[in-house]
Each structure stands twice: as C-alpha cells, then as structure tokens.
Structure 1
Amino acid sequence: MVFVAKNLSFAVQQSEILKNVSVHIQEREFVGLIGPNGSGKSTLLKNMYRMLQPQDGEVFLFNENIYKQPAKEIAKQLAVVGQETPVLFEFTVKDLVAMGRTPHKRLMEVDTREDIAIVEQSMQQAGVLHLSERSFSSLSGGEKKRVIVARALAQQAKVMVLDEPTNHLDIQHQLQLMDLIQSLPITVIVALHDLNIAATYCDKIYVLKDGEIVAYGTPFEVLTPSLLQRVFGVHAEVSVHPVTKKPHIFYISEQFL
C-alpha cells in the first residue's frame, strides 16, 4: 500500500469527528472520499497530510509513519491542494508555483533550468500559464484554485491529496482539472461533493457519515439508490452513462414522488 490510515480517531472538545477510520490506497489508485457536510472528509484528509494529528491511530506513506518524518521529506512524496490556501504576502503566480520546488532544494538555492522548466510545464498543465505575471491576490477563486494545483504539480510528488478541488470552478474547468489529475501517473485521494464527478473519475470510493466509514468499493458498488437515501437523504435513480460507461445519478425531488 502507498498511503494508509489506520484506526484514526480525532475529537475537538469532547466532540468525536473521526471514529476509528481506516483507509488503504494502492499505487496509482484514484480514490474518492464522499459524504454529507460535517461527515469528517476534510478532517480525515488533514489528519492524513499532517495538518492535524489524531488522538489515536497512525498514517503511513510508503510504509513510513508520516508523524515521524521531517516535513521536507514528506513534501517530496505528498502534494496537497486544500480547500483554502491563504497567501499572506503578494506573490506572482509564477513565484507561487515555483514554491512547489522548495522540497527538492537546499536553503537559499537558486532555481535551476530544470526547476524553471518544471514550473512552466506545471502552469501549462493547470491552464494558468497566461496568468504567470499576475498577482495571486488579483485572481478569481477558480483561478486561484488552478494556481494551487499548478504548485502541487511542480512538487512532482507521487501522491496527491485534494480537498474539494472543483470548488469555485465552472463546468469546463472542473472537467479539465479532473481529466488532468486522472492523467497523472500518481496516487490520488480526493474529497468531492459532486457524486457524478466521483462516479466518473474514481477507481474506488470511501463513504463517510458521522465520522465513520459506512461504505467502500467501486463506484458501481457504492453509489446505489439505497446508499444515497441512507447517507445523503435523497431519492435517486442510478444508471450507466452511455458514453463513459460509469454510474450516473439522477436525483428525484420529493415533489415528484
């Protein structure tokens, strides 16, 4: 296994947010994390990439406990695209994306030709090369998201964690971003709200509710009308998309039942 969380429990002021959660991700798997608001998706990811530390449980990246490894070594292997990425100083897009090269460099080492080429390629892949000289703070929410993805690409990590990466993006850029991530020869774990996007792109899906894993499997195994009713409280029909051959969910309003 490439990325493993074992029996994670996390609480804030006596309120349990994660309850004995385990996740196992194999090399180059594209794994989705879905669940209602407040189910624990973001908290689980933050525990897995060391922004939070669980009260119980362990996380292993390439068989190494991430809580016992230097942050720089973890950053060589693991890239993160969070929901919110505050930038406290004025940076151009190009300078911000170049920060993705930091784990691979010594203190005060200048960018090499290879670094510059990787940064440019990452911006091109994420569709932000034309913004390279713009100030990050001047960008729209969707543009900022794509710049942060470009920075993660510049890390050239073998594992990428993304928390709601399609937020703030229009439909075209949602699909372009998901196509890009799926095309990378890396392991991916991504929290998603859009269940049809999860169905289209994920190899496996974990379903969280009230801080616990309640289902795991392929999109066909997980995204069933009964589970959607039990976990999300919605009525739905699930069919096979004629083009993608993946599950496609049709939601049904209460007024039509």
Structure 2
Amino acid sequence: MATEKKQRRRKCMSGEQANHAAQMRVDKLTITVNDHRIIDNISACLKPGKITAIIGPNGCGKTTFLRALYRSLKPTTGAVYSGDVNIWDITAAESAAQRAVVTQYHGEGVGFNGYEIVEMGRYFARTTNVKTNLKTARRAQYSCEENEVTHGEHGNVDKHARSRRDAAIIRQALLDVAGTEEKAQELAQKSFADMSGGEQQRVLIARALAQRAPVIILDEPTNHLDIHAELSIMALIRRHQCTTILVVHDINHALAYADDVMVLNQGKIYASGEPHAVLTPELIREVFGVSACFTTDPHTGKPFAILGLPG
C-alpha cells in the first residue's frame, strides 16, 4: 500500500503534472458535519482549461464543495481526483502547488504588505529548498523585469535569475488586478491590514495568479469590489485560460463568463451544463424563487437575466 501511494505521488509530480492537475473530478463525494449532510453523493468532471461557475441559494453547500476541491475538508465518503490521483494520496504541499485558492476569509494577510502577500503565491511554484527560496525571493525588487531562469555551470538553477523572474511575475499579477502601474505600486507597498475589502480581494486574486497553478479556485471573487473592479476581475479570470472553478451569486456573471455552470441545491447537483442551456426561467424560479426573463447583453452578446420577485 505504501509503495502504491509513493508511485501515485511520483506520477502526479512528473513532467505531466500541470496537464493532469488541470483535470479535476469528484466521485460520489459526500461531506457530513455534525451529523448534517452538506454535500450529498456528488459526482462531476470539471473541464480542464474551462471556467466552471458554481451557483445556488445560500446554504446549499457551495463553499463546502470548494473546500473539498482544495483539500481543506476531507470527504466523509467519495473522493476528489486531480487527473487520476486522489488529492488525499499526495502531500499537502503537492496539492497546494496544483491549486491556487482565493477564499472569503482574509485574515491570513495581517502583518504583510501587498507585495509580500502576492509573493506567497510563488512559494508553491518553486521546487528547491523552501527557506532558501523565501530568502532569495524577498531580495527581489518590484521594478525588476522578467527574465527566464538560467542555469549555472553545474546545471543548478540560477537563484538570482529565478528571483528576478518571480519579481516580474508578482509585478504583472499586481498590474493585472490594479489596472495601472501607479495603483499596482500602491497595492504593493500598502499594509494588508490597512486595505479596503476590495483592495484585499484584488491582492488575494493577484496572489492566485502569481502562483501560476494549473487550477484556480475562487469563492465569490467579486466580493467587496466596485462595479468597475468587478467587471475587470471577471474579464481577467476569463482571459487567464486555466482550469477555473468559482462560486458566484450573480447569475449574469455565470452567463457572461463561465463555460459551464453547476447548480447546487440542498447539497446535490440540481443541474449542470452550458450556462445558456441550464439557467432557464424555470430553473431560476425553482431554485432561487425569483422570476426571470432574458435579453441579450449588448456588451458581451450573451444572454442577460432580468430578475424580479414573483407576483
């Protein structure tokens, strides 16, 4: 058994790691907490390179489902697979390297500035000694230009080149979420504790982007954001083109940006598939208790739901 587990670990961490890790599926997943079944026998395949939006009413199990995907909560029964590897058959560090996560909880950033928070995303992207990596990366400056990693005369990775490359990746991630160099610089230097909720959300999304993981998992990524930032972040997620799983409450975000949608209700998959096919007026009324009619969004060309209370 131990030998078999080691073989699975080696397979997952091979040169095909990114391709395998981007292919996630859950098999008969059930999660019970305090005798309450929150997730009830869910099986699903999450398409690699696509955006899957998880939607559903409050308390239906969306966040619990995400926690199972990034190994924060162990299944009561069933399994979560990265490629063909059960994520509980690899180490926590290996699992974390494959999935970048943005949760609703922002308490982990206290005591750091924006740059240092985003820098944490590079931690699991590195493959050599952890302490050396952290020390080397902290010498990197925000203004560094991106360089490819080079090698020394004995084939060892040039840590200074890697440090410069890390700095460039961090800089680009901050620029992506901030929109301008000036705003990115402000986020980099500002204490996380002094940031607004929207600024904190942008920094945490930048950290996920900087990790360059094959899978990004986001729990309500537009929380605390103003309208411009909300639309910018959703467009950025769309452009990123990796396997993305996100919880959203806005049905129109699912329609505009997702490739697939999974509707959860009472811990089960109520429906799944392409957003325009799944999110019908009938389903919206049955699951959310609101009426819906559709028009076409002139900005995206996608269906746009106009929602209201029934009656």
Q: What TM-score does the superposition give when structure 1 sets the normalisation length?
A: 0.95
1:88 to 1:143, Cα distance in 2 relative to 1, 3 A: closer
Q: Is the 8 A contact 1:34 1:207 kept in 2?
A: yes
Q: Identify which of 67, 70, 77 aligns with 1:56.
A: 77
Q: Is the 8 A contact 2:81 2:87 kept in 1?
A: yes
Partner of 1:118: 169
Name the CA distance, whole Å, in 1 between partners of 2:50 and 2:33: 31
2:204 equivalent to 1:148: yes
Q: Is the 8 A contact 1:77 1:159 kept in 2?
A: yes
Name the CA distance, whole Å, in 1 between partners of 2:273 and 2:121: 33
Secondary structure, aligned partner of 1:60: strand
Partner of 2:124: 103
Name the CA distance, whole Å, in 2 between partners of 1:88 and 1:124: 19
1:88: Cα distance to partner? 6.1
1:225: Cα distance to partner? 0.6
Q: Deviations over 1:189-219 (max 9, x none)?
A: 1100011111100011000000000101111
Q: Is the 8 A contact 2:173 2:210 kept in 1?
A: yes
Partner of 2:300: 244
Name the CA distance, whole Å, in 2 between partners of 1:179 and 1:55: 36
Name the CA distance, whole Å, in 2 between partners of 1:178 and 1:12: 32
Quote the RMSD (CA, aligned, Å).
1.4
Partner of 1:24: 45
Letter in 2 for 1:52: L
Q: Deviations over 1:157-214 (max 9, x none)?
A: 0110000001111111011001111101211011000111111000110000000001
Partner of 1:129: 184
Name the CA distance, whole Å, in 2 between partners of 1:88 and 1:196: 31
1:117: Cα distance to partner? 1.1
Name the CA distance, whole Å, in 2 between partners of 1:133 and 1:243: 35
**Which structure 1 segments of 5+ residues have no match?**
none
Name the CA distance, whole Å, in 2 between partners of 1:231 and 1:23: 20
Partner of 2:241: 185
Question: Which protein is richer in strand relative to its size?
Answer: 1
Secondary structure, aligned partner of 2:234: helix
Secondary structure, aligned partner of 2:108: coil
Partner of 1:34: 55
Name the CA distance, whole Å, in 2 between partners of 1:49 and 1:247: 31
1:220: Cα distance to partner? 1.2
1:238: Cα distance to partner? 2.1
Name the CA distance, whole Å, in 2 between partners of 1:182 and 1:40: 24
Name the CA distance, whole Å, in 1 between partners of 2:116 and 2:244: 25
Letter in 2 for 1:33: I
Q: Identify which of 194, 209, 212 aligns with 2:250.
A: 194
Q: Is the 8 A contact 1:223 1:247 kept in 2?
A: no
Aligned length: 255
1:124 to 1:242, Cα distance in 2 relative to 1, 3 A: closer
1:154: Cα distance to partner? 1.1
**Which structure 2 segments of 5+ residues have no match?**
1-21, 138-162
Q: Is the 8 A contact 1:223 1:238 kept in 2?
A: no
After TM superposition, which residue ranges in structure 1, 4 or more long, deviate above 6 angstroms?
none
Q: Is the 8 A contact 2:110 2:192 kept in 1?
A: no
Q: What TM-score does the superposition give when structure 2 sets the normalisation length?
A: 0.79
Secondary structure, aligned partner of 1:51: coil
Question: Which protein is richer in helix relative to its size?
Answer: 2
Name the CA distance, whole Å, in 1 between partners of 2:287 and 2:191: 42
Partner of 1:69: 90
Identity within the alignment, %:
39
Q: Is the 8 A contact 2:113 2:189 kept in 1?
A: yes
Secondary structure, aligned partner of 2:88: helix
